Amino acid sequence: MCDNYKDLFSTSSVYNIEKKIKKKMNGFFLMMKAAYTAFDYIKLNTKGEVIILCGKGNNGGDGYGLGALLTMAGREVKIYKVEDPIKTEAKAALKLCQKLGVKIKKWSKSLKDSDIYVDALLGAGIKQSPREPYKSIIRYLIRKKNKGKKIIALDVPSGIDGTTGVAYNPSVIASKTITFLAMKKGLLTGDAVDYTGDLIFKNIGVNQKKVEPDAILLKKSDCDFKIFQPSFHKGTRGNVLVFGGMKGMEGAGILSGISALRAGAGKVFWVTDTNKLNFPPELITVNPELKDTLKFLKMSNVCILGPGLTSGFEELIVNIWNFKIPLVLDAGGLRWLAKSNFRQRSDHLIGTPHPGEAKDLVGQRELDRFETIRKIKKMYGGDWILKGPGTLIHESNQLWINNFKMPELGTAGSGDILAGLIAGIWSSGSKTPARSGVWFHTNLAKKALKKRKTTYFSASDLIN
């Protein structure tokens, strides 16, 4: 049932799409097309009574349209009207329900028990916590969901910002979300992934090409992986230097180094101060002295700075930062940058922060994910990856979203592997190392998930 999508839009962009459509198509007809999408899903996939909760905007209008279609199909329907509709199309949909004899009740602080509840309360443009009575209704729906009832959200779960993915308190936790017209970028990242349930998209026959997308869905076709010729050898595939994995944190350096090799690097130099470990035989170890580090930097195509990096190496870090080499900055390297006075780097940089590191870099904790990555890009230049469910990638002056959420990746070492994959792909000549590294990381995670023998797995399972 789900249509394919590639372009992702903010709420304001969706409104622009609607305006352009309404110049050629009646607004009520467009609303009924959206309602029919929900009707088609409910008709084919559910049984029993349907209770629809309608707000005052066009999201409520979609709910009234759905109620009319279900009634005409012979389904038992009851609508709770929270407020009178204020939009012309929604008023028309309500009148249609009334003419068909749909049961419509005013919300009165209680919900009759039902098989299915439809959330048509609040749209994608919300910018603050829901007010009463919506707050109480949403909490009712959350309790119903916790009791095993199906909650179907129209367009977005109420309380979710369709632009940013922020979930205001409270927000509906849907079993399914059926979104229409254009895919809202906020539904694929951040808080939203815990609230949408299964996400279904229908473009309802509308072409969005006249409005520029705000982000792009990451697919393999967007990536660039170097094809090795039969004559290639370790000297032609590119070298990576890993600065990190110091005493007590050796695993981070090892994971990054091995991942770089698995992603295409010919050789990996590992700068570490540890000497009491059985090193992986593939890694060439280097003492963390300035002379030795600079020597091997000159032999490298990409440097990874930060995985398992402890304090006490500031002079070396500054020299690496100023060295003319593509740099993947992670973990300890990001912590150093956040505390330093350095800003935009002259040579190419890819940073890979998790949300906490990202907020430290910008010095603000209240920004949403999209504002955070935009601000980091503006402050430091380079390309950036903001990790987490629905990873954001700012590369080639374009924002990409990786539609992937996997809590098993929230484990020590997973980010070290991502840094290594990016560096390995980059060293072998990729023109899109940031998004190619994210896609590769996701692909390895999917394969590891299929092969796992226990409930969870460790980061090394991604590359073993």
Mean pLDDT, all residues of the chain: 93
**AA identity, residue 364:** Q
Same domain, residue pair 276 and 193: no
Whether residue 116 sits in one domain with residue 41:
yes
pLDDT tens-place string over residues 234-285: 777 899 999 999 999 999 999 999 999 999 999 999 999 988 777 889 999 9
- Output the pLDDT for position 231: 60
Residue from 442, 464, 438, 440 nearest 451 by CA: 464
Residues 379 and 361 in one domain: yes
Residues 6+ apart with CB under 8 A from 280: 254, 257, 258
Whole-number pLDDT of residue 209: 61
Dist. CA 162–CA 185, nearest whole Å: 7
CA distance 300 to 297: 5
SS3 236: coil
Task: Assess whether 373 and 318 both reside in one domain.
Answer: yes
Quickly count helices (H) and strands (E) in the chain.
Answer: 13, 19
CA dist list (Å): 283 to 239, 272, 291, 415: 11, 11, 19, 19
- Asked whether the predicted pLDDT for residue 136 surpasses 70, the reply is yes
What's the pLDDT score for residue 103? Answer: 94
pLDDT at 206: 72
> What's residue 458's pLDDT?
84
Residues 249 and 145 in one domain: no
Q: Is residue 385, in this structure, part of any structural domain at all?
A: yes
Q: What is the C-alpha radius of gyration for the chain, rounded to an integer number of angstroms?
A: 26
Check which CATH number belongs to the domain holding 344 and give it: 3.40.1190.20
Segment 382-393 shows an average pLDDT of 97
pLDDT tens figures, 419-439: 999 999 999 999 999 999 999
Give pLDDT, residue 456. Answer: 74
The reported pLDDT for the residue numbered 251 is: 94
Which residue is it, tokens 């990381």? Answer: 441
- Provide the domain count of the chain: 2
| Residue 333 near residue 242, CB atoms below 8 Å | no
Supply the pLDDT for residue 463: 87
90 contacts 63 by C-beta, under 8 angstroms: no
Distance CA 448, CA 464 (A): 9
Domain with 250, as residue range(s), is 220-462
In a domain, 148, yes or no: yes
Answer yes or no: is 151 within a domain. yes
How do residues 291-320 score in pLDDT, each as one tens digit? 999 999 999 999 999 999 999 999 999 999
Per-residue model confidence (pLDDT) at position 208: 58
Digit-coded pLDDT (tens) for 137-177: 999 999 999 999 999 999 999 999 999 999 999 999 999 99
Residues 165 and 240 in one domain: no
pLDDT band at 409 (very low <50, low <70, confident <90, very high): confident
193-224: pLDDT as tens digits:
999 999 999 988 776 567 899 999 999 999 99
Q: Whole-angstrom Cα distance, residue 237 to residue 234?
A: 5
Q: In this structure, are 193 and 79 located in the same domain?
A: yes
Domain boundary among 211, 235, 261: 211
For residue 117, pLDDT beyond 90: yes
Residue 415 lies in a domain: yes
At residue 450, the pLDDT reads 84
Is 452 a residue whose pLDDT tops 80?
no
pLDDT of residue 332: 97
Please indicate, yes or no, whether the overall pTM of this predicted structure exceeds 0.85.
yes
- As a whole number, mean pLDDT of residues 359-377 equals 94
Phi and psi angles of residue 30, each rounded to the nearest 5 degrees, phi first = -65, -40
Contact 38, 62 (CB under 8 A): yes
Residue 2 lies in a domain: no
